[in-house]
Amino acid sequence: MTAYSHLIMAASIFKRFILLLSLIFMISEAYGQGRPDSFTFLFNRVQESEGGIDKLSGSAYYFDGKLYLHLSYPVNQLFFVDDRKIKIYYPESNKGYDLISDAPFDLPIVNSLIAFMKDDYGLANIGFIIRSNSVSGDTLIAHWEHSSGPESGKFEIHYKHDIIVKARYSAKSIFLETKLIDYKTFGGYVIPTHIETRNSSLRNSEIESLFVEQLSINPEIPDSILNFNFPDDAVIQKRRF
Amino acid sequence: MLKLLNIDKYKLMSQSIRKYASIFLLMLSFSLIIQPITVNTYAYSNPDPVADARLHAGQESGGTWFLIGCVGGFIGYIVATAITPNPPATALVGKDEQYVATFTDVYQSEVKSIRTRNAMYGCLVGTGATVLLYVAAIAAADDSL
């Protein structure tokens, strides 16, 4: 082997090393902005399926893992989720529900935003690992599989110019695709203001569009929301799960 | 020889129990991220809480509870009857008082019915398989004597 071929081999190894470093940098850069402790925003959500169109609008406050929603359409409803508790209150009738469970409740509306803000889209926390990376045009695609094998489904995270533009999950009968669109900068954080999720399964297929406005990062949360409680004279039904 | 045969059977049984347990744990942890994504609201402008609750309940994984019944036997069945399922919060956002009440009741009863039914089937299959294993082991022991 000549000195020239050694040089070519070394250059090729160096090139691969640089490519690997840039991939790692792109991924860390995309998530490097960290996760805000709290945020508030106005939202409009539209769901379309064979059954029709469902619209929802209001304001959301997310803080300390808790969620407070004030729905203005289609009903005036206050919705407070705190881990294993949900408080639902209807100001007009002064009635509400106090739901208490042994297991945590899911967080509506903010799910996809929270997943976006988590490191690795929250996948590493539930046992997913990166199997490979590929490039399509100017998009870097990270392919994730569960450590137990591909039968648990696969995730694809698409990065364009260092930000996530798409997340795909596919399993036997489920296909989910979330597009993160219209990025804007709020308080130093680059956040999508339109999140579109297509959900196809054997039973149904639907598209959910979440439009986010006036997003505020780490705002001051009013006491009435921080320590949300029903008015003393409200008629409350308690339910335990 | 008989002892070796029994040790192999115990090994096989413990391996399969571990396999089912790991599958169950994987499905449980996985459902924490997938469930909030997949369970979207099915209620539309004129929502029917009963139909919506049944649709949501239909997403409950019967297979998981079958495995719990299979591995845990009667205890698995008791667990299925004792645990009251959470209604998905996503389905209650933006819904009126009557909807919330009806949806919660129907969802709970439907999911509980799916869980207990599958846990019972799992329990029966698991017990049947165990009995067959013992019968086979006894027959093998008799043959070797």
* pLDDT score at A121: 83
Contact of A67 with A104, CB cutoff 8 Å: no
Structure tokens at B36: 């909030």
pLDDT at B28 over 50: no
Q: Is residue B19 located within the same domain as residue B81?
A: no
Give the amino acid at A165.
V
Q: How far apart are the C-alpha atoms of A141 and A159, rounded to whole Å? A: 6
The residue count for chain B: 145
| pTM, 2 dp | 0.72
* pLDDT score at A180: 94
Residue range B14-41: mean pLDDT, rounded: 47
Residue range B77-98: mean pLDDT, rounded: 88
Q: Is residue B63 located within the same domain as residue B92?
A: yes
Q: Is residue B90 located within the same domain as residue B143?
A: yes
Structure tokens at A48: 């379309």
Q: Is residue B94 located within the same domain as residue B118?
A: yes
A178-231 residue pLDDT tens = 999 999 998 888 899 999 999 887 667 889 999 999 999 999 999 999 999 999
- Is B89–A108 a contact, with Cβ atoms under 8 angstroms apart? yes
Structure tokens at A125: 């926390």
For residue A15, name the pLDDT band (cuts at 50, 70, 90).
low
Q: Is residue B9 located within the same domain as residue B55?
A: no
Q: Is residue B74 located within the same domain as residue B127?
A: yes
Provide the residue range defining the domain that includes B130. Answer: 47-145
Which residues on neighbouring strands pair with residue A122, listed in sequence order? none
Q: Is residue B24 located within the same domain as residue B85?
A: no
Q: Is residue B63 located within the same domain as residue B12?
A: no
In terms of Cβ atoms closer than 10 Å to its own Cβ (0-12, 13-18, 19+), residue A241 is: middle
Helices H / strands E in chain A, number of each? 3, 14
Residues 40-79 of B with CB under 8 A from A: 40-45, 55, 58-59
If one counts the domains in chain B, the total is 2
B121-145 residue pLDDT tens = 998 998 898 889 999 998 888 877 6
A76-127 residue pLDDT tens = 999 999 999 999 999 999 999 999 998 899 999 998 888 888 877 888 888 8
Q: Is residue B37 located within the same domain as residue B8?
A: yes
Respond yes or no on whether ipTM tops 0.90.
Answer: no
Bond prior to A74 in cis (omega within 30° of 0): yes
Query: Residue written as tokens 């990025």?
Result: A183
Q: How far apart are the C-alpha atoms of A176 and A206, rounded to whole Å? A: 10
| Among the partner residues B38, B83, B89, nearest to A86 by beta-carbon distance | B89
Q: Is residue B55 located within the same domain as residue B68?
A: yes
Q: Is residue B63 located within the same domain as residue B124?
A: yes
Nearest C-alpha of chain A: how many angstroms from B116?
Answer: 16
Q: Is residue B122 located within the same domain as residue B98?
A: yes
